[in-house]
Every structure is written in C-alpha cells, then in structure tokens.
C-alpha cells in the first residue's frame, strides 16, 4: 500500500503525525514534493498529490488544509481523481464504497480522528455494487468527454 500525502501550511503538524503513524504501520508514505511555507497555496499540494495517485493506480491520497474543502475542489480538477472531503467515518466509508474515492481530504480535526479516517479509508474495499460502479463509470466517461 502506498499513500501520497500533502497539506498546506494549516495542516503541517497533522501531516507529519500521520506520516509517522503510517510508516509505523509499514505503509509506504510519500510526502508532496512541494515545500510548505507561510503563504503557500492548497491547490499546489492538491495537484501534486493527485497527479501521483493517478500515475500509481493502486495508491491512495490524503490531503489536508484548513477545512478540507478547497484542497478537495482542486484535487478533483485532476482527471482520474475522486477526492472526498470527509468529516465522519460514515463519510469515509461511503466515499470509498459508493464513490470510488482515491483521495480523502480533511482539515481542523484531531490526530486521533484523522487516524480513524485514514485507517478506515485504507481498510475499506472500493465500490463493488453494480449501481455504484455504473455511477463511477459515468463520472469517468464525462471527464473523458465520452459521456452520452
């Protein structure tokens, strides 16, 4: 399992804690190559992590910003990404099983809550039900400009 992770300046400490935690779980973790600074911009991290997840289809991504919204919007501009901003374990579960999310985003949560979200995201099987797969295929078709 490979995880790509990135955050803007508002998520640096949580990102570092998660990287350390995931490495202790024997998970390969790759931090965004974009350097954090006081006035960095969340789209830079979203695009960097998203492009890596697209190139590595068996991987997952984690993005962190002030509230998780802006970074998820930016991530979803990258073809092949289905990023869900999550605020509960139910969100995480449905993002993966219903929407085929390959990246989750959040912000302003505790390390303990983030660990729960990440553990569930990693351990939950992707969408398998026909109705969910049909919907995901429509999203893929639209972004590939073949949706009818």
CATH number of the domain to which 41 belongs: 3.40.1400.10
pLDDT in the model for residue 148: 79
Q: Catalytic amino acids?
A: 65, 98
What pLDDT shows up at residue 147? 85
What does pTM read for this prediction?
A: 0.96
Looking at residue 81, what is its pLDDT?
98
Asked if the structure places residue 148 within a domain, the reply is no
Stretches where the chain sits below pLDDT 50 are none
Please indicate, yes or no, if residue 106 is contained in any of the structural domains.
yes
- Nearest-angstrom CA–CA distance, 95 and 124: 10
Domain contains 75: yes
In a domain, 49, yes or no: yes
Region of 145 on the Ramachandran plot (φ > 0 left; ψ -120 to 50 alpha; else beta): left
Residue 96 lies in a domain: yes
Instruction: For residue 109, give its domain range.
Output: 2-143
In this structure, the chain runs to a length of 148
Count structural domains, the chain. 1
In-domain check, residue 133: yes
- Give the E-state strand segments of the chain in sequence order: 2-7, 28-31, 60-64, 83-85, 103-106
70 part of a folded domain: yes
């Amino acid at each position: 399992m490979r995880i790509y992770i990135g955050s803007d300046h508002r998520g640096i400490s949580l990102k570092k804690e998660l990287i350390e935690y995931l490495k202790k779980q024997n998970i390969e973790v790759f931090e965004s190559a974009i350097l954090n600074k006081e006035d960095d911009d969340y789209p830079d991290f979203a695009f960097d992590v998203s492009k890596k997840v697209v190139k590595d289809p068996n991987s997952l991504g984690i993005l962190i910003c002030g509230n998780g919204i802006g970074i998820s919007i930016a991530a979803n501009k990258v073809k092949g990404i289905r990023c869900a901003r999550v605020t509960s374990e139910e969100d995480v579960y449905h993002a993966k099983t219903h929407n085929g999310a390959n990246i989750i985003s959040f912000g302003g949560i505790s390390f303990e809550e983030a660990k729960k979200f990440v553990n569930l995201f990693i351990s939950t099987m992707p969408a398998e039900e026909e109705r969910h797969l049909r919907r995901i295929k429509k999203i893929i078709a639209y972004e590939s400009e073949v949706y009818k």
